[in-house]
Amino acid sequence: MTLLKIQGGTQLCGSVEVKGSKNASLAILSGVLLATEPVTVRNLPNVSDIRTKLRLLEQLGCRIFESSESITIDASNLRRAALDDEMVRSIRTSFYLLGPMLARLGSAKIPQPGGCKIGARPVDFHLKGLAALGAQIGLTGGYFDATTTGLTGAEIYLDFPSAGATQHLMTSACMAQGFTVLKNAAMEPEVVALADFLNRIGARVEGAGTSTITIHGVEKLQGGDYSIPADRLQAGTYLLAGAVTKGEVTVEGVLPEHQVPIASKLLEMGADVDLGPDWVRVRGTKYPQAVSIKTMPYPGFPTDIQQPMAAVLATAHGVSTVEETIYESRIGHISELNRMGAKIRLEGRTSVITGVDHLQGCVVEATDLRAGAALVIAGLAAQGETIVRNVHHIDRGYENLEDALRLLGANIERIGVQEWEAANR
């Protein structure tokens, strides 16, 4: 059990290389089940959600070979097996194993998934889509039990462009007979990455990145080698850390167009933002202005960045609003930011943020991954010392966040809870 100790007030300056996308990796680590030959994946982030997913693959009979450069997964001996309940519950994408298992084995059993506690997060779109592809799925005692006599392509309309349902159904349809059309599909970069990966191992997916995706079923998927693209959410977090400390931060190895929603809000706040071929630089302003934000499916403003953005807006001049339209309760950061002196009140699904002159460091608790990132950002700008507890939430999605921030000049360290408690008795 560790916590993060941050001494705020240092301007962050410098460049940071962004690691591979957690959410693309998690989806791809379901897609690997389709391949009957070894698949090598590079640039996987070393975060706890990925380690959990790899352990689940092992439980299903996959052999995993890790090197410092890459991870090779051999799913040739895939088998139906009881998955560790707690592991399945701890990550949302455990559920995306169901479709590929159906495609390869004709049956699968999996507990209901979990993930960050940010809303109800049902799986009804996934279930409707799998049923359209020819699966029979029942829920008994918290377990989904699914069988099929053979998946067949279908036209599937998603009631909402869900990233997860798009990824799960796209993967499930790769070996279905005939072709599948996903309408109102999510256009997230992580969907595009998954399609690129699936095509690399022999699938025929077209249209990823648009709202209509067509999948021509193939009989068999082979081995391949794929490198995960940079994590746009990690990149966005570092840019906000630069902006909130009024410093100058460059994120490298990214696709700049992924940062446009965040960059345009930073510009509106008065910061300078430059976009290069594979980098984005922010130069914070001393007088940030309030802005209005509404989260939307990609290419709208990402829900994952609204919590860190609220930390930045907490000290902007004027009244900002942040409307969360994707999740009904992605609000765990609000009470903790208010504990640090922010003035945020919730009106329905909108955070109304009245900017204050400064935040003050104190002990705060991360309630989920991005709430944790928000508290770190607040701590970097706050006066005095901030202690962020429940760091395991942050470790789900950011690989050694404190090391990257320290390289940019932040005064941040990870210490054991017991060590900290002993020092503060």
**Residue number with CB closer to ligand EPU (251 or 316):** 251
Of 122-130, 256-264, 269-277, 403-411, the segment contacting ligand EPU by CB under 6 A is 122-130
Judged by CB under 6 A, the residue of 104, 232, 370, 389 near ligand EPU is 370
Judged by CB under 6 A, the residue of 137, 192, 280, 326 near ligand EPU is 326
Least distance between ligand EPU and beta carbon 190 (Å): 6
Judged by CB under 6 A, the residue of 83, 130, 165, 194 near ligand EPU is 165
Nearest in space to 255 (alpha carbons), one of 239, 232, 273, 238: 232
Least distance between ligand EPU and beta carbon 160 (Å): 5
Contact call for residue 261 and ligand EPU (CB under 6 A): no
**Residue number with CB closer to ligand EPU (162 or 320):** 162
Residue type, 400: N
**Residue number with CB closer to ligand EPU (200 or 370):** 370
Contact call for residue 244 and ligand EPU (CB under 6 A): no
- Classify residue 69 by burial, with Cβ atoms within 10 Å: 0-12, 13-18, 19+: exposed
DSSP per-residue string spanning 336-404: HHHHTT-EEEEETTEEEEE--S--B--EEE--SHHHHHHHHHHHHHSBSEEEEE-THHHHTT-TTHHHH
Question: Between residue 142 and residue 161, which ones bind ligand EPU under the rule CB under 6 A?
Answer: 160
DSSP state of 48: H
CA distance readout (Å), 410 to 56, 135, 244, 405: 36, 51, 12, 5
Find out whether the peptide bond into 299 is cis, omega within 30 degrees of 0. Answer: yes
Judged by CB under 6 A, the residue of 2, 30, 43, 93 near ligand EPU is 93
Residue type, 251: V
Of 1-9, 40-48, 114-122, 379-387, the segment contacting ligand EPU by CB under 6 A is 114-122
**Residue number with CB closer to ligand EPU (74 or 336):** 336
Contact call for residue 130 and ligand EPU (CB under 6 A): no
Judged by CB under 6 A, the residue of 47, 123, 235, 251 near ligand EPU is 123
Judged by CB under 6 A, the residue of 28, 125, 154, 234 near ligand EPU is 125
Element (DSSP H or E) covering residue 189: helix 189-200
Q: DSSP 3-state assignment of 210?
A: strand
| Burial 246-276, CB ≥16 within 10 A → b, else e | bbbbbbbbbbbebbebbbebbeebbbebeee
Contact call for residue 234 and ligand EPU (CB under 6 A): no
Contact call for residue 164 and ligand EPU (CB under 6 A): yes
Least distance between ligand EPU and beta carbon 193 (Å): 11
Contact residues for 234 (Cβ-Cβ < 8 A; gap 6+)? 18, 19, 21, 22, 45, 397, 398
Least distance between ligand EPU and beta carbon 413 (Å): 24
**Residue number with CB closer to ligand EPU (8 or 31):** 31
Element (DSSP H or E) covering residue 165: helix 163-173
Question: Between residue 184 and residue 203, which ones bind ligand EPU under the rule CB under 6 A?
Answer: 186, 188
Least distance between ligand EPU and beta carbon 177 (Å): 24
Q: Which two tokens stand for residue 266?
A: 């930073």
Least distance between ligand EPU and beta carbon 69 (Å): 24
Catalytic positions, written as ranges: 116
Contact residues for 405 (Cβ-Cβ < 8 A; gap 6+)? 12, 238, 241, 376, 380, 412
Contact residues for 396 (Cβ-Cβ < 8 A; gap 6+)? 22, 47, 48, 49, 91, 116, 369
Least distance between ligand EPU and beta carbon 319 (Å): 26
Site track 379-398 with ligand EPU (rule: CB under 6 A), x = hit:
------------------x-
- What is the rounded end-to-end Cα distance, in angstroms, of the chain? 18
Residues near ligand EPU (CB under 6 A), total: 27
**C-beta of residue 233 within 8 angstroms of C-beta of residue 189:** no
Of 53-61, 119-127, 224-232, 412-420, the segment contacting ligand EPU by CB under 6 A is 119-127
Judged by CB under 6 A, the residue of 80, 117, 121, 349 near ligand EPU is 121
Element (DSSP H or E) covering residue 260: helix 260-269
DSSP per-residue string spanning 167-178: HHHHHHHTTSBS
Helix axes 232-244, 303-313, angle to 10 degrees: 10
Site track 12-51 with ligand EPU (rule: CB under 6 A), x = hit:
-----------x--x-------------------------
**C-beta of residue 25 within 8 angstroms of C-beta of residue 190:** no
Residues that bind ligand EPU (CB under 6 A): 23, 26, 92-93, 116, 119-126, 160, 162-165, 186, 188, 303-304, 326-327, 369-370, 397
